[in-house]
Chains A and B, each alone.
Chain A
């Protein structure tokens, strides 16, 4: 597990290497995490984050860009906070791994 979020450091995020299986219905995505055996529900934001991380590592700014705050109709700062909380939660669940860079 990585250290809690802090604005003082920039972290890069990647998906864990454990198998992730997904299905999507009506904009809701179900994620099966092979390492824990747990099934999780992701909303559209969560699903886009996982999609982006499948393409490669990303930091918070890169993930924010992928989410396109304007299209979501959420203020960028609010979305940033929500994204930070989401990544911390996904990290706790073992789905993503954050690494701190200087």
Chain B
């Protein structure tokens, strides 16, 4: 059963009562409880395809979103995110409930997923091979990722490249993609079929709206992909589209500095990152035109087919 198969009432009942809702998101089992009802409609849309696994043995995270005290229900309402009973962040405006839940889950993955090498990167797949797009904030990673996910590439993740040290494969973690500010309009124009949620204004990242992960991506989230390409994108207004080769040693440096846990993993981090770089074609991409960028990246996949 998926979240979308629950009626509104049943979803509200399960998520408010113990033991909460056990949801499979990629390799993680998340136990979710909500003390506020505001996120429910969006949760049902954005998490629509995630399977429920009430009988699963190991929960990776117990997360909840609640009112921040009795008074804060009514006066400047605030919401508090907790994981395993502890609050890693200051409470935020209750109106930012869904972004807070998603940021909270990012925190959980980044802090707990140390059995994997984790890069701050979007990942998509074509022909069984993964395109990894590491990117600093502002590099245009999420915009490019969303565009590719609506042009024939399977979304594995917008935020985390999860590399399995044992086999070197990329594990899918398809979650709602948070578009920010100008990117929201860009994607509305570029991919009218993309399901975009409401815009949350005044968040710490400006205006944020989430794109629902394509159903096919969620349905295949148990299918890893082998490394194919490491492409470091950089969006720049007016830039020509340039896909340039990058040396492996430079790519390694960027991968290591982009990883959440490279140093923490020690030798395993070095070996996993080195194998990843070894198996990938490495490039930098400068672009301002999404269509052109997609054509160039598509050509990489076609050349490898």
B114–chain A nearest beta-carbon distance, Å? 14
Contact of B270 with A25 in the complex, beta carbons under 8 Å: no
Count class of interface residues, chain B: 10 to 19
Q: Is the CB of B267 within 8 A of A26?
A: no
Main secondary structure on A side of the interface with B: strand
Contact A34 B267 (CB under 8 A): yes
A37's partner among B247, B249, B263, B277 (CB-CB below 8 A) is B263
- Tell me the count of chain A residues lying within 8 A, CB to CB, of chain B: 12
- Find residues 260-278 in chain B having any chain A CB closer than 8 Å to their own CB: 263, 266-267, 270-271, 274, 277-278
Query: Given contacts A37-B263, A39-B256, is CB(A21)–CB(B248) below 8 Å?
Result: no
Q: Are B266 and A23 in contact (CB under 8 A)?
A: no
- Residues of B contacting A: mostly: helix
Q: Which of the residues B252, B263, B267, B277 comes within 8 Å of A21, measured between beta carbons?
A: B267
Query: In the complex, are the beta carbons of B271 and A21 less than 8 A apart?
Result: yes
Which residues of B sit under 8 angstroms from A39, Cβ to Cβ?
256, 270
Report which of A28, A32, A41 forms a contact with B270, defined as CB distance below 8 A.
A32
Q: Are A30 and B252 touching (Cβ within 8 A)?
A: yes
| Cβ A41 vs Cβ B256 within 8 A | no
Per the bound structure, the CA–CA distance linking A46 and B208 in Å amounts to: 48
B274: chain A residues at CB < 8 Å are: 23, 30
- A23 contact from B247, B267, B278, Cβ within 8 A: B278
With contacts A28-B249, A34-B266 known, what are 20 further pairs, Cβ within 8 A?
A19-B267, A21-B270, A21-B271, A23-B252, A23-B274, A25-B247, A25-B248, A25-B252, A25-B277, A25-B278, A26-B247, A28-B247, A30-B249, A30-B270, A30-B274, A32-B270, A34-B267, A37-B263, A37-B266, A41-B253
